[in-house]
Every structure is written in structure tokens, then in C-alpha cells.
Amino acid sequence: MPLVMGRSIRGIAAGDSEPQTFLPYLVDRVLDGSLPVQTMQQHYAFEDINIAAADAAAGRTVKPVLVFDSV
């Protein structure tokens, strides 16, 4: 496969993970700073839903979180 020579592809197929080892692995990556989950999400007021969608599409945020005003 000439398109992937010299490269490696890693991933997890749906249902192929083993939570007993994968979840502790993820926690370790968060704790050592190599998986900065705090910076992956950004909060947006519901009124800014279009900005949130644009930021996600442009790659400025991984997980836009809409925040509703309390009633």
C-alpha cells in the first residue's frame, strides 16, 4: 500500500477496547498531561450555538458544550 508506507495507523474499532486497561491508560495520559481533556472542550452560551458549530468545524474546539441559563 504505497499511500501508507512508513506510517502507522492506530485506533480502536467499536467494541474492540478493553475498559479494564483502556480507561486506566486514558487516566494516566490525562494525569501526565499528554491528553489535555480540559482544553478539548469549550463552553458556549446557547445563543452562541452558531459560533460553537463554526468553531468545531474549523477545528478550534473538539467538543463544544452549550450552556443554558438556569431557570
On whether residue 62 sits in a domain, the answer given is: yes
* Amino acid, single-letter form, for residue 62: V
Tens-digit pLDDT profile for residues 3-61? 667 777 777 666 667 889 989 999 999 999 999 888 889 999 999 999 999 999 999 99
Domain count across the chain: 1
Distance CA 21, CA 29 (A): 12
30 within domain boundaries: no
The Cα–Cα gap between 52 and 47 comes to 10
In a domain, 42, yes or no: yes
Domain, as residue range, for 60: 37-71
In a domain, 21, yes or no: no
